[in-house]
Chains A and B, each alone.
Chain A
Amino acid sequence: MKLELRGITKRFGSLVANDSIDLVVEPGEIHCLLGENGAGKSTLMNVLYGLYQPDDGQIVVNDNKVAFSGPGDAMAAGIGMVHQHFMLVPVFTVAENVMLGQEHVGAAGLLDMDAARRDVREISDRYGFNVDPDARVEDLPVGVQQRVEIIKALVRKADVLILDEPTAVLTPQETDELIAIMRQLKADGTSIVFITHKLREVRAIADRITVIRRGAVVGEASPDASENELASMMVGRSVSLTVDKAPAEPGDVAFAIDDLSVVDDRGAAVVDHVSFDVRGGEILAVGGVQGNGQTELVEAILGVQEHVTGSIRLDGRELLGRGVDDVLDAGVGFVPEDRTVDGIVSSFSVAENLVLDLYKRAPFARGLSLRGAELAKNARQRVEEFDIRTSGIDTPAGTLSGGNQQKVVVARELSRPLKLFIAAQPTRGLDVGSIEFVHKRIVRERDNGTPVIIVSTELDEISALADRIAVMYRGRIVGIVPGDTGRDVLGLMMAGIAPDEAQAEAEANPTEVSLAADDAPAVSDPEDGQS
C-alpha cells in the first residue's frame, strides 16, 4: 500500500505542531521519521491514525484521498499503530485485547474466544512471537506486550504499521529482536513507519529517513549518513553526542548503601538486598529497564518509601528512618524522574519553584513570612546561570517547555552545597540542547567532589556520564562495571545476566544496533562546529 501525506498542518492554539508536512511511504519500505522530542512526530502520526483532525492537508492511500474521522477509519484503510504508551487493557488476556473492537461473535451473541486465540496463535507462530493468548497482559514483560500490540495491528490486516518510539522501553537485545520482526514484516509486504530519535537504530533499519524539526520536514537523509550528520539535521546545528569530561578523581567513600531492601504494598520485594557505595567526585549510574526497582531505590534514599530495611549512610550518618526534611538537610539534592508530578508545582511561578525546598531557610524566610525580594533575586540569578528560557520569573512553571522545566528543577537542587546529588532520568523527554546542558552541570557537580548517582534507562546517557555502572534487574544489582563497558554487555546485564557471562555472550553475538554504530567512531568532536 502506498501512503502519502500532503501538506498536513495541525495547530494547537497558537502552536503549530505540524507545518504542511509531506511524506510518502512506498509499499514494503521501512520509513524512519526522525526528530527530537517535541518535533511533532507523534502529532503527525496521530493525525494519520485519525486521533487528531488535521487543520489542513490530505491523506492519500493508493492515490485515493481519504479522511479519517477516527481510528476505526484508519484501521479500515489498513493503517495500524503501536503507540509509545501501549494501548492494552492490563486486566484482559492477550486474546481479549487482540479481539477488542473487532470481536468474533459466535452462537447466542457470545464471544468466540477460540477464534480469537486462533488469530493470536496464527500470527504469533508466523513471526515466532511466542505469545500465549491466555496470558494476562499485566503479567507480561514490556517486550512481549509490544508484540501483542503488533499482533493487534496485523489481525486488523494493517498494510502500514506505525511504530511510535518502539525501542524506548527495550534492552538492546530486545531492540534487535524487534528489528528482526520489522524485517520479516517488510518481507511480507508491510510498510513500516518507524518513529524515533535514536540514531543508531535508524541507521540499522531504515530504507529511507525523513527528518522533522519544529513541526516541519527539514529533509530526507540516507541511512548511510553518519550519526553526526543525522544529529545535526535533527537539531539544526552540530551537536555533541558525547559528554566532555575529565577522568574522575574519586575521593573517599562518601555514600554507602548496605543490604537495602524495599517491600511494596503487595508484599513483593521491589529492591532486593542492594549494596553499593559512591565516592566523592564520582558518578555512579544505575541502569536497567524501567520498573526494575530503580525508582524505589532512589525514593528509599530520599525517605519517601515505606517498608525499607538495611542501611543508607552519608558521610557515616545513617539516613534510613529519617524524614525527607532531614535527608534534604543532610545535603541530598534530588531530581525526581517525573518533573511534572514530583519536580515542580506547575501553577507556581518560576521564582517559587526555585525555592520549593529552600523557602524555610535564610535568606528566603523571616519568621513566618517569605521575603519576595530575596526570592526574585535568587530567581534572576538562577535563570541567568542555568539559561532558563522563560518570559519572566513570575511565569507559571507549567507553561515552560520540558527542557526549561527540567532546568528549573536542576537549578533548584544545585543551588545549595550538596553532599550527595541524585538525578533520576535527568534528561527524559528533553531536546538535545537541554540534554547537553544538564549533562554538563551534572559533570561539573561531580568535579566539585560531590558523589553523584544517576538513574537512567537510556544506555547512551549512562555510557556518556558514568564512571561506574550498576545495572538493576528485578530489584537486584546484577553487577557493577566500569563506565566504559560496552552497550551489548550492559544490555545483557539489563536482562539479568551476570557481567562475566554477559561479556562472553556479547563478544559471541554482537547486536546489529551496536554494529551499526561502529563505522562512525569519530563522533566525539563537535565543539569545532559553529553551534
Chain B
Amino acid sequence: MTASPAVSADLAVRPSWKAPIVFGLLALVAVIAFGVLGESGETSTFGISTSSDAWQIDPLALSSQPVALGLSLVCVVVAAYSAWLVRAGQAAPAWLTVLFAIAFVLAFLVWAVAGEQISFTSLMQGALALSVPLVFGALSGVLCERAGVINIAIEGQLLAGAFLSAVVATLTGSLYVGLVAAVVAGLLVAFVLAVFAIKYVVNQIIVGVVLNVLVLGVTNFLYGQLLAPEAATWNSPGTLPRVEIPLLSEIPVIGPVLFEQTIIVYAMYVTVALVHVALFRTRWGLRVRSVGEHPKAADTLGIRVNTVRFRNVLLGGAVAGFGGAFFTLGNVGAFSREMSAGQGFIALAAMIFGRWSPLGALGAALLFGFANNLQSVLGIIGTPIPSEFMLMLPYILTIFAVAGLVGRVRAPAADGEPYVKS
C-alpha cells in the first residue's frame, strides 16, 4: 500500500530561532563589554602549573583586550553560522552550543582577569571540589527518577551523610568507617522516602520536602547540643588524605586536578561510569528504565515494579549519602550547621540539565561547580561584576536548559507517578 505524501511545505517543522537570537545577543554583549570597553594595555595572566608539578609550564600572559575581542568575535561567528543554519532550515548542532559557551566563558575570563593573575589549576581544582556533592546528588536523582520516583530528598540525604560520617568517624577514629556511616545515613533517609512514596503512595514531592526539613532539624538540634559544645568528642574527624595516582597525576594541567584527590573523588569517577554502563547496557538498567517509562508494561512481563523502585530509591540514597561525606571528610574536616546549603536542589537541576543521564549529570554538575568556583575566585581578585550575579549563573543556565535551548528535555514518562495495581 502506498501512503500519501508528507505534510505541506508551509507547515513543515522549522527549527527554532531561539538559539541564534540568544547567541546573537550574548555575542553582542561579549564584543561590547569584553572587547570594546575592556581595559586596553593590560595583561591577563593564567598560571597553568603548580609548584609541585613535575613539569613546570610558564604562566600564560595574554594581552587582555585583543584576546577578549578575538574570542568575542568567535562568538559572533558562531551566532551568525547558527542563524545561517536555521535560515537554511537546519537546527544548530549541539557542538555549536558548546563551542559558543567555551568561547564566551574564555572571553569573559580574559576580560575579568585583566591586570591580575589567577591559577588555572587551582580554579579547576576548586571547581571539581564544589562539583563532587553535586555529582553524587545528581546520580542519586538519576537512579531514582529513571525508576519513576522523584527524589527531592537529595538535600536531606547529603546533609545526613555529612553529619553521620563526621560523628561516626570521630567516635571510631576511622575515616573509612565514617564513609560507611555516610552511606547508612543516606539509606535511612531513602528508606523513609521509599516506604511512604512507594508503599503508602504519599505524594513523592511532599515526602521529600518533609524529609529535608526533618534532617535539617535533627542535625541542627544535635549540632547545637553535642557537636558544637564538645567538638573534640563528636566533631573532629579530620580529612581523608589525598592520594596521588602514579603517572596520571604527572600529566600537565589535568593531572594535579583529577588525580591528586581523595578516595571519594575516585569513587565518584567509578560510580558515574558504572551507573552509566549499568543503566544503558545491562539487564538491570533495561528493567529500571522500563519501570520509569511504562510500569504497567514492565508488570505484564513479570517485572516487580515497586520492588525495582524501592531498590533504586535505596541505592540513590546510598549514593547521595556517600556524596554528603565529601562536605566533611573530603573537604572541611568537621560538620557545621546546614552544611549542604541547597546543593541537593542544584543537584536536581544538574540531573535535568544532564537529561537524566549519568554522564550528562556529571557534565552539568562540573559546569555548575565551575561557575560557582569562578565567582569565588573572581570575588577575591575583584571584578567589575558583583559576585552575587555570578552566583546566579548556574541557575540561569538551568533555566535556559529547561527552556529547551540545548534541545528537548524529556523526563521518564512515569516519573513521579506511583504504580498501583488495579
Known: A88-B294, A268-B7, A476-B4. A105 touches B300 (CB 8 A): no
B57 interfacial contact with A, CB 8 Å: no
The 8 Å CB contact of A269, one of B8, B290, B301, B413, is B8
Which residues 1-38 of B sit at the A interface, judged by CB distance below 8 A? 1-4, 6-8, 11-14, 16
Interface residues of B in 296-352 (CB under 8 A from A): 296-304
Contact of B302 among A72, A109, A111 (CB under 8 A): A72
Q: Does A51 contact B (CB under 8 A)?
A: yes
A190-227, CB under 8 A of B: which get 1 and which 0? 00000000000000000000000000000000000000
Q: How far is the CB of B103 from chain A (nearest CB, A)?
A: 29
- Total residue contacts A-B, CB cutoff 8 A: 108
Give complex CA distance A73, B7 in Å: 47
Contact B300 A87, beta carbon cutoff 8 Å: yes
Within B53-86, which residues are at the interface with A (CB < 8 Å)?
none
Contacts of A272 in B (CB 8 A): 7-8, 11
Interface range for B? 20 to 34
B260 to chain A, nearest CB (A): 30
Whole-angstrom distance between the Cβ of A263 and the nearest chain B Cβ: 6
Task: State which of A91-99, A118-126, A362-370, A397-405 sits at the interface with chain B.
Answer: A91-99
Kindly identify, within residues 88 to 135 of chain A, every residue whose CB is under 8 Å from any CB belonging to chain B: 88-92, 96, 99-103, 105, 109-111
Contact of A2 with B by CB under 8 A: no
The answer to whether the Cβ of A351 comes within 8 Å of any Cβ in the partner chain is no
A495→B421 CA distance, assembly (Å): 37
Q: Which residues of B contact A90 (CB under 8 A)?
A: 293-294, 413
- The distance in angstroms between the C-alpha atoms of A51 and B2, with both chains bound, is 40
Say yes or no for A70: interface residue by CB 8 A criterion: yes
A474 within 8 A of partner (CB): yes
Instruction: Find out whether the CB atom of B299 lies under 8 angstroms from the CB atom of A478.
Output: no
Q: Is A273 an interface residue (CB 8 A)?
A: yes
Query: Is there contact, CB below 8 Å, between B4 and A92?
Result: no
| Cα A498 to Cα B2 with chains together (Å) | 10
Q: Which of B114-122, B191-199, B278-286, B380-388 contacts A (4 or more CB under 8 A)?
A: B278-286
Chain B CB within 8 A of A421 CB: no
Pair B301/A496 contact, Cβ less than 8 Å: no
| Partner pick for B293 among A91, A109, A152, A473, CB 8 A cutoff | A91
Q: Which of chain A's residues 489-531 have a Cβ closer than 8 Å to chain B?
A: 492, 495-498
Known A-B contacts A91-B293, A101-B303; A269 and B12 likewise in contact (beta carbons under 8 Å): yes
Known contacts A101-B303, A473-B4: does B293 contact A111 (CB below 8 Å)? no
| Chain A residues positioned under 8 Å from B293 (CB to CB) | 89-92
Least CB distance, A473 to chain B, in whole angstroms: 6
Whether the Cβ atoms of A173 and B1 lie closer than 8 Å is: yes
B286: A residues at CB distance < 8 A:
92, 96, 99-100, 103, 111
Interface residue ranges of A58-107 to B (CB < 8 Å): 70-73, 75, 81, 83, 86-92, 96, 99-103, 105
Q: B355 near A: Cβ within 8 Å?
A: no
- Residue-by-residue, is A267-282 near B (CB-CB < 8 Å gives 1, otherwise 0)? 1110011000000000
* Contact across chains for B281 and A81 when beta carbons are under 8 A apart: no
**From B13, which residue of chain A is reached at the shortest CB distance?**
A267
Find out whether the CB atom of A92 lies under 8 angstroms from the CB atom of B283.
no
Residue pair B11, A89 in contact (C-beta under 8 Å):
no
The interface residues of chain B, by DSSP majority, are classed as loop
B302 and A101 within 8 A (CB): yes
Q: A100-B290, A110-B282 are in contact. Are A266 and B298 (CB under 8 A)?
A: no
Q: How large is the interface on A (under 10, 10 to 19, 20 to 34, 35 or more residues)?
A: 35 or more
Q: In the complex, A415→B366 CA distance in Å? A: 62
Complex interface residues of chain B between 131 and 180 (CB less than 8 A to chain A): none
- In the complex, residue of chain B having the shortest beta-carbon distance to the beta carbon of A85: B296
The smallest C-beta distance from B407 to any residue of chain A, in angstroms, reads 12
* Residues of chain B lying within 8 A (CB to CB) of residue A263: 11
Shortest CB-to-CB span from B331 to chain A, Å, is 34
B238 to chain A, nearest CB (A): 38
B400-414 residues with Cβ-Cβ distance < 8 A to A are: 413
Partner of B298, one of A83, A101, A478: A101
Chain A residues within an 8 Å CB radius of B3? 473-474, 495-496
The reply to whether A475 and B7 form a contact with Cβ atoms under 8 Å apart is yes
Q: Which A residues lie within 8 Å of B413 (CB)?
A: 90-91
- Contact of A87 with B296 in the complex, beta carbons under 8 Å: yes
A71 and B302 within 8 A (CB): yes
CA distance in complex: A473, B2 (Å): 12
Q: Does A49 contact B (CB under 8 A)?
A: yes
Query: Most A CB atoms within 10 A — which of B277, B289, B290, B301?
Result: B301
Report whether B281 and A497 are in contact in the complex, using a CB–CB cutoff of 8 Å: no
Select from chain A the residue with minimum beta-carbon distance to B2. Answer: A497
A515→B202 CA distance, assembly (Å): 55
Give complex CA distance A92, B283 in Å: 13
- Is A261 interfacial (CB-CB < 8 Å)? yes
A414 vs B391: C-alpha distance when bound (angstroms) = 60
Q: Are A89 and B290 in contact (CB under 8 A)?
A: yes
**Residues of chain B contacted by A96 (CB below 8 angstroms):** 286
A115 CB, nearest partner CB in chain B, Å: 12
**Residue contacts A-B, CB under 8 angstroms, 5 given:** A92-B290, A99-B286, A105-B283, A110-B282, A152-B301
Chain B positions within 8 Å of A, measured between CB atoms, are 1-4, 6-8, 11-14, 16, 277, 281-283, 286-287, 289-290, 293-294, 296-304, 413, 421
Given contacts A473-B4, A475-B7, 15 further A-B contacts (CB under 8 A): A70-B304, A71-B299, A72-B301, A75-B302, A86-B297, A90-B413, A92-B286, A100-B290, A101-B303, A110-B281, A111-B282, A111-B286, A268-B7, A269-B12, A496-B4
7 tightest CB-CB pairs across the interface, nearest first? A72-B302, A101-B301, A269-B11, A87-B297, A496-B4, A267-B13, A103-B283
